[in-house]
A = this chain, B = another copy of it.
Amino acid sequence: MTTPAPSEVFVHHVLFYTHAAASAADRAQLLEGLQQLQRIPGIQLAHIGTPAATDRTVIDRTYTYSWLCLFASAADELHYQQHPLHDDFRSRYARYWEKVVIYDAVGPTS
């Protein structure tokens, strides 16, 4: 008898870096955009974060928002990328960030 492989989860993690001259209102706008993104169906878990208090040399604390979402499959993540709310997010909110860094990772959870 073989043990079935644990199911794989698709992790999509985006770090948003706002412009140096961004105001508190600009950052609030971007946060509002991320809150809209959460409404896209198929997201298993979404997390909107800001840098924690932890501070070691290997920790990047220079981003403004961390947007993490988990999907049951790569197909679900593709569906998210292609959803009209995602298009809307890009067209309305891209002005608020200077840089994004994305990590997409697939593997088991425990």
Q: What residues make up the interface of A, taking CB atoms closer than 8 Å to B?
A: 9-11, 13, 15, 38, 45-54, 56, 58-61, 63, 66, 68, 70, 74, 77, 100-110
* Residues of chain B with a CB closer than 8 A to A74's CB: 52-54
Copies of this chain assembled into the complex: 2
Closest Cβ–Cβ distance, residue A8 to chain B (whole Å): 8
Main secondary structure of the interface of A (DSSP, over half): strand
A-B pairs with beta carbons under 8 Å apart, 22 shown: A9-B49, A10-B52, A11-B47, A11-B66, A45-B109, A46-B110, A47-B105, A47-B107, A47-B109, A49-B105, A49-B106, A49-B107, A50-B107, A51-B104, A51-B105, A52-B77, A52-B105, A56-B102, A58-B100, A58-B101, A59-B103, A68-B105
